[in-house]
Amino acid sequence: MISIECDECAKTYKVKPEMAGKRAKCKCGASIQIPAGPKKKKRLVSTPPKRKKPKAKPEADPWDEDTFADDDFGDDYGDDYDDDFDEPPRRSRNSPKTGGRSKKKGKKKRKGGGTSAPMKIAGLVFLGVAVLGLLLGLLVPAVGAITAGGIIIVCAALSFAGSLRCMIAAFQEDIMCGVMWFFVPFYSLYYIVTRFSELQEYILMWFGGVIGILICVGYFQVLQAI
């Protein structure tokens, strides 16, 4: 409650705090100014202080503080580094060589084509028919003669194709190899022996055809004896 006093009759009154700042009328007729009550102090809510994040410690310098303290960073160090950069970069082992051809010529690698499956099947069928015809020719000489003649033609073509392919391989490797194939005695034999792993398929065609022809020639001798 707020206590007020009339200035005219000196009578005191008590009024509610809600009347603070307003005017009231005394019984004597005088007007009384009700003083404003004490302001309420705002209650301060204490907030906890924000914790500061600890500063990250600087990484320790791997070098001691006094490592370079007495060193002289003069032009001498720059000269040493320049000498290092003057060296030409090393060429890796797998990097392709540039420039002219190398003087040493190695054997050229050729990818073996290999006999395809249809060719193998056709060869087996021909071999089976040839053997059957030769055996039947022992009973019927006419059939044997026709079969042997056909085998000779096929074997001759097979042998020619194999020898031709070996000769082409010699020219592909080096022009001098091809020339020596024709003009140097027994060089062709040396060539196919040293390149047997690469030309195995064509060498077998070549000599297989020759062997087939010899067998058929002997077969004709057997038919004449019968």
For 180-212, write each residue's pLDDT tens digit. 998 988 998 999 999 998 898 888 888 988 998
Tell me: pLDDT of 44 over 50.
yes
> What DSSP designation does 54 have?
P
CA atoms within 13 A on the CB side of 69: 5
Give residue 46's pLDDT band: very low, low, confident or very high (50, 70, 90): low
Residues 6+ apart with CB under 8 A from 25: 31, 32
Residue 134 confidence (pLDDT) = 84
Question: How many Å apart are CA 172 and CA 179, to the nearest integer?
Answer: 11
pLDDT tens track for 48-63:
666 666 666 666 555 5
The pLDDT of residue 90: 59
- Identify the sign of the CA torsion 17, 18, 21, 26: negative
pLDDT at 106: 44
Tokens for 200, please give them: 């195995």
Question: Residues 153-169: pLDDT tens digits?
Answer: 999 999 999 999 999 99
Res 103 pLDDT > 80: no
166-201 residues labelled b (16+ CB within 10 A) or e (exposed): bbebbeebeeebbebbeeeeeebeebbeebeebbee
Q: What value does the mean pLDDT take over residues 76-103?
A: 49
Predicted structure pTM score: 0.44
How many whole angstroms from its chain centre is CA 86?
33
What's residue 160's pLDDT?
93
% of residues, the chain, pLDDT over 90: 13
